[in-house]
Amino acid sequence: MKIALINENSQAAKNGIIEAALKKVVEPMGHEVVNYGMYAADDKAQLTYVQCGILAAILLNSGAADYVITGCGTGEGAMLALNSFPGVICGHVEDPVDAYTFAHVNDGNAVAMPFAKGFGWGGELNLEYCFEKLFGFGHGQGYPKERVEPEQRNKKILDGVRAATFKPLIQCLKSIDQDLLKGAVAGEKFSELFFASCKDEELATYVKTLL
């Protein structure tokens, strides 16, 4: 699994801490971590949590990433931004129980975490424990045991509803403010990382017009 890390500007200074915790947990599992930044608070390309949603949608829908880890001060804004797009099911994860239940009950492909609220002493340990529960026990198996069948059934229902209510991503991208969109793909390593992994020719072609 290719896991993308995205940080918005208010919590960009923690990018290194988050990346280290994520790699420590998931690389021994055989997963790859791709860091799209922001890498520091003074990066030239400044990402808002809304732009994290745009970037996450591009990465997931293009196949450039299989999963996205992101967040903001509370994680709420980032979660709302990611869930505004087709092809993205983002959970709000504060602790390991959130991580485990989101993986098994909701079976999404992104999480938004609070990188300011409650992030004090031992914050990096909580990240590690969350990532262990998120990636170390499979996905979509349902929880608790007696609720497996209805939970899996509900997930399929949700997928059907989302398919009916969302328009294709490229239509979404063309209809939003193009300067906002250009800012979302302005990271210093975006082109290097994205085009090497993108599996959607049409989306790649459109993104190139923005750069």
Q: Quote the pLDDT of residue 182.
A: 97
For position 209, what pLDDT does the model report? 94
Question: What is the pLDDT, as a whole number, of residue 145?
Answer: 87
CA–CA separation, 26 vs 134, rounded Å? Answer: 10
Q: Which percentage of the chain shows pLDDT scores above 90?
A: 97
| DSSP code per residue over 62-88 | HTS-SEEEEEESSSHHHHHHHTTSTT-
C-alpha torsion sign, points 82, 69, 50, 10: positive
Structure tokens, 131:
């990532």
State how far the Cα of 174 lies from the Cα of 147, in Å rounded to an integer. Answer: 41
Domain extents in the chain: 2-210
pLDDT in tens, 49-77: 999 999 999 999 999 999 999 999 999 99
Fold of 2-210: Ribose 5-phosphate Isomerase B; Chain: A, (3.40.1400)
pTM, full prediction: 0.96
Give per-residue pLDDT as tens, 132-165. Answer: 999 999 999 889 989 999 989 999 999 999 999 9
Helices marked H in the chain: 15-26, 49-62, 76-82, 96-101, 123-135, 148-165, 169-175, 178-184, 190-197, 201-210
